[in-house]
Amino acid sequence: KQEVTQIPAALSVPEGENLVLNCSFTDSAIYNLQWFRQDPGKGLTSLLLIQSSQREQTSGRLNASLDKSSGRSTLYIAASQPGDSATYLCAVSHGSGNTGKLIFGQGTTLQVKP
Amino acid sequence: NAGVMQNPRHLVRRRGQEARLRCSPVKGHSHVYWYRQLPEEGLKFMVYLQKENIIDESGMPKERFSAEFPKEGPSILRIQQVVRGDSAAYFCASSPITVNEQFFGPGTRLTVL
C-alpha cells in the first residue's frame, strides 16, 4: 500500500531564507508526483508536476526534484517571502491500476515571518 | 478559460438530509476525481469518473455515497442521510487524460448539524 510522508509537519523561517520541504513515498511504482499549495480554507493550487521519468522541475523560485528509486522528492523554495506562507502538499499518482488517483501526504505548514 | 468550478462553496445540512455537491471540470477535461479532507486529516481519494462511467470508486464509503458524471452537465457527488462524520471539505479535480496533472476546484465545505 502506497504511503506518503512529509517532513517536517510545520516550519517557520525568516523572510529571505532558502528552504527545503521533504516528501517520501513507500512504493516507487509511480507515474508522477505533484506538489500543491493550500491556503487556509481554500482549494489546492498545483505548483509543479514531475513525471516519473524526470529528475526535476522548476518554476520561478520553486524547484522540485524526484528520486524515484529512493522514494523521495524535495521542494526547494528560494528567497522565501511572507506570501509563501501556506500548507504544501505532496501527492503521488500511484502506478497500480493506472487510474491516476493521487495519494497525498499530510502536508508541511510553512510560515515565513517578515 | 475557467478552472474547475464547484458549488455550493459552503453547504449546511441537518442529520438525515441529503447533500448534493457539484463539480464542473475544466473545459475539455473528461476525467474527474473527488477527494475528501476531514478536519485535521489529509486529502483522501474517493472516486474517479469519466463521462458516464465510474472507473475507480475504491475510496468511496460503501453506503450513502454515490457519484456520477453524465454526458451533459457537471459531476455530482451525492451523500444521502448525512451524519456528523460527513462534515468535511470535498474537492473535485479534473484532468484531460488519465495520469496527468490534476487541477483542483475550490472545494465544498459541508457542515452537518
Q: Which residues of A touch B101 (CB under 8 A)?
A: 32, 34, 46, 49
Contacts by A41-45, CB closer than 8 A, 24 or more apart: A41/B109, A42/B106, A42/B107, A43/B91, A43/B104, A43/B105, A43/B106, A43/B107, A44/A89, A44/B43, A44/B91, A44/B93, A44/B104, A45/B104
Contact B92, B106 (CB under 8 A): no
Q: Do A104 and B42 touch (CB under 8 A)?
A: yes
- Here the cell at position B110 is 459541508
Task: Give the pLDDT score at A99.
Answer: 74
Is A71:B18 a contact under the CB 8 Å cutoff? no
Residues of chain B contacting residue A41, judged by C-beta atoms under 8 Å apart: 109
Please give the pLDDT value at position B2. 73
What was the pLDDT predicted at A23?
97
Residue A102 is predicted with a pLDDT of: 93
Q: Which chain B residues touch A102 with a CB distance below 8 Å?
A: 33, 35, 43, 45, 93, 102
The predicted pLDDT at position B100 comes to 77
Mean pLDDT by 10 residues, chain B (113 residues): 89 98 94 92 93 92 95 95 96 84 94 96
Torsion (CA) A104, B49, B47, A92 in degrees, nearest 10: -20
At A49, the amino acid letter reads: L
Taking an 8 Å cut-off on Cβ atoms, the answer to whether A101 and B106 are in contact is: no
A45: contact with B, CB 8 A cutoff: yes
Q: What is the pLDDT of residue B42?
A: 87
Contact assignment for A42 to B106 by CB distance below 8 Å? yes
Residues B6 and A42 sit within 8 Å (Cβ to Cβ): no
Radius of gyration of chain A (CA): 14
> What's the pLDDT score for residue A98?
64
Spell out the per-residue pLDDT of chain A, length 114, in tens: 899 999 999 999 999 999 999 999 999 889 899 999 999 888 999 999 999 899 999 999 999 999 999 999 999 999 999 999 999 999 999 766 667 889 999 999 999 999
Q: Which residue of A101, A108, A109 is the best one to mutate when testing the B interface, meaning the one whose CB has the most B CBs within 10 A?
A: A101
Q: Which of A77, A80, A84, A87 is nearest to A107 (CA)?
A: A87
